[in-house]
Amino acid sequence: MTVNVNPYLQFRDTARAAMEFYADVFGGEATFSTYGDFGLSEDPAEVGKIMHSQLVIDGRAWLMAADTPASMALPESSSVAISLFGGPEDDAVIREQWAKLVDGGRITEELVAAPWGDVFGMTFDRFGTYWMVNIGGAPQE
């Protein structure tokens, strides 16, 4: 058995738009189930909201999300960050992903050379998700 730990993002009303955005950033196709699909909403305003969405990235990573119903509190997300990382061979791809993540978002640390030898940056994307991005430096010899 393989155990995975995957981010599950909570939004108020933007889960579909966010997951379509992440599919554009990382590739893949997001799937969606609404509260109405399973008869899980008594509020007609929430029937079309996303109960569960999933994006499989490169067949090895899963990003999931949902719209939190209005009757439930939406937890503060600033203390949670998603880490996006790769090695020097991934530099161009990660820089392209970074450019998409920061478009309409708020950079908290520019993507620049870090003291530990990697390239590192942090941003909130346009949906409020906090990303820590790291591109590994050249291997030490």
**What kind of fold does domain 81-135 have according to CATH?**
3.30.720
> How far, in Å, are 10, 19, 76, 98, 130 from residue 55 at the CA level?
14, 7, 23, 18, 18
Query: Which CATH number does 8-67 carry?
Result: 3.10.180.10
- pLDDT tens sequence for the chain (141 residues): 567 789 999 999 999 999 999 999 999 999 999 999 988 888 888 999 999 999 999 888 999 999 999 888 887 766 788 999 999 999 999 999 999 999 999 999 999 999 999 999 999 999 999 999 999 986 655
Question: 54: exposed, middle or buried (C-beta count within 10 Å: 0-12, 13-18, 19+)?
Answer: middle
Question: Domain coordinates of the chain in residue numbers?
Answer: 8-67, 81-135
Q: Does this model's pTM top 0.85?
A: yes
Distance CA 69, CA 118 (A): 40
Count of all residues that appear for the chain in the document: 141
